[in-house]
Amino acid sequence: MCPNNTPSPTEGTQRERLAAYFLSAPPLSEQSPSQRREYLKKLHTLGQLERQEILRFAGGSRPLVWGNPASLLQALLSATQRLAAGLGQPILIFPARETAIGADTLLHPRLLSIALCDLLCRACAAAPRQSVWVRLQEQKGGLAVAITATEPFMNGDSLALIKECTKLHGGSLVHCDETVVFSCGQAAEPPAGVRLYGCPTEEDLLADTLSPVWSLFYAGFYSSLESSKPSMSSASDSSATGASSVSSSATSAEGADKL
């Protein structure tokens, strides 16, 4: 048996195979429909491995950086909103661009990104094509994110993941029925030696198909749609219709919209 903080041989083999696949796969915009479906299956597997790795290391120390959580959260939300539109899924963000936290704080960007994208995927998969509402608000001592769907969407792994995220970021978590609210706390100043974090833009996230907005959100939601219906024709039509709403500059996003 492998220790909890080390990957299993099976996981190691999966990661090696995924790395080889993604290095050799053509860009999404150049793939055939069958190639894109296979690509999204691989992305979904990658997302599951990312979640498992975080849960395996739960409670352990992680290196933190100094940056603005609002900038990262808003970029993630805007990117997922545009990708969701390609599958006919409305995500409503309130407020989308006006909210900003007044100070930088200690962050673990990867964990925060994975936790948020996982929650959004669960919320959308619980009631496909029905609105999901996200509110990003500054509050005393931190920044809160509220996600509301039309059906309950929290499961055991998602709960463990967001608990780990809020604990590491000095925040809190409240959930009931169809709403989950989590927060990130503020820090007065960065400890010595902590590096500054350069937040990716919305376009950066859309262009990188290995980012959590693709592997945790888009591929996960696509997989849930595919497994719940015998045919993906309606999703494919919605995706093609929403091509212009995803991105004109990110070729990866354009390719996925042709699913």
- What confidence tier does 98 reach under pLDDT thresholds 50, 70, 90? low
Asked if residue 124 is part of any domain, the answer here is yes
pLDDT at 243 over 70: no
CATH number at residue 215: 3.30.565.10
Q: How big is the CA angle at 59 (ends 54 and 61), to the nearest 5 degrees?
A: 85
* pLDDT computed for residue 124 by the predictor: 97
Whether 199 contacts 205, CB under 8 Å? no
What's the structural domain count of the chain?
A: 1
Q: Provide the pLDDT for residue 116.
A: 97
Report residue 177's pLDDT band, with 50, 70 and 90 as the boundaries. Answer: confident
The CA distances from residue 166 to 58, 171, 185, 248, in Å, are 12, 5, 8, 35
Q: Is 5 a residue whose pLDDT tops 90?
A: no
Cα–Cα distance measured from residue 17 to residue 12, given in angstroms and rounded to the nearest whole number: 9
Residue 172 lies in a domain: yes
Q: Side by side, which strands form the sheet with 132-139?
A: 91-94, 132-139, 142-148, 179-185, 173-176
The helix (run of H) or strand (run of E) holding residue 255 is helix 251-256
Q: What is the share, in percent, of the chain residues with pLDDT greater than 90?
A: 64
Chain CA centroid to CA 67, Å: 18
Q: Is residue 161 part of a domain?
A: yes
Q: Which residue has the tokens 């029925």?
A: 177
Predicted confidence (pLDDT) per residue in 27-53, tens digit: 988 999 999 999 999 999 999 999 999
**Residue 259 confidence (pLDDT) above 70:** no
In a domain, 12, yes or no: no
Q: What is the mean pLDDT of residues 146-155?
A: 94
226 vs 231, more confident: 226
Q: What is the pLDDT of residue 251?
A: 33
| Closest by CA position to 222, among listed 42, 27, 77 | 42
Burial class (CB in 10 A: 0-12, 13-18, 19+), 87: buried
Q: Is residue 1 part of a domain?
A: no
233-256: average pLDDT: 38
Each residue of 46-97: pLDDT tens digit? 999 999 999 988 888 899 999 989 999 999 999 999 999 999 999 999 875 6
pLDDT for position 24: 95
Question: DSSP class of residue 209?
Answer: T
pLDDT tens readout for residues 106-121:
999 999 999 999 999 9
Q: Tell me whether residue 36 is in a domain.
A: yes
**pLDDT, the chain, mean:** 84
Give residue 69's domain range: 28-259
3-state secondary structure of 92: strand
3-state secondary structure of 185: strand
Backbone angles phi, psi at 202, to 5 degrees: -55, -40
Q: Please give the C-alpha separations between residue 127 and each of 90, 121, 174, 179, in angstroms, as whole numbers.
A: 11, 10, 21, 13
| All residues at 6 or more sequence positions from 192 whose CB lies less than 8 Å from its CB, including other chains | none
Distance CA 240, CA 118 (A): 24
Which is higher by pLDDT, 196 or 99?
196
Tell me the pLDDT band of 239, cut-offs 50, 70 and 90: very low
pTM of the model: 0.84
Give residues with Cβ within 8 angstroms of 243, minimum separation 6: 86, 254, 257, 258
What percent of the chain has a predicted confidence (pLDDT) above 70? Answer: 83
In a domain, 16, yes or no: no
**Residue 6: DSSP 8-state:** S
Q: Examine residue 232 and state whether it is found in any structural domain, yes or no.
A: yes
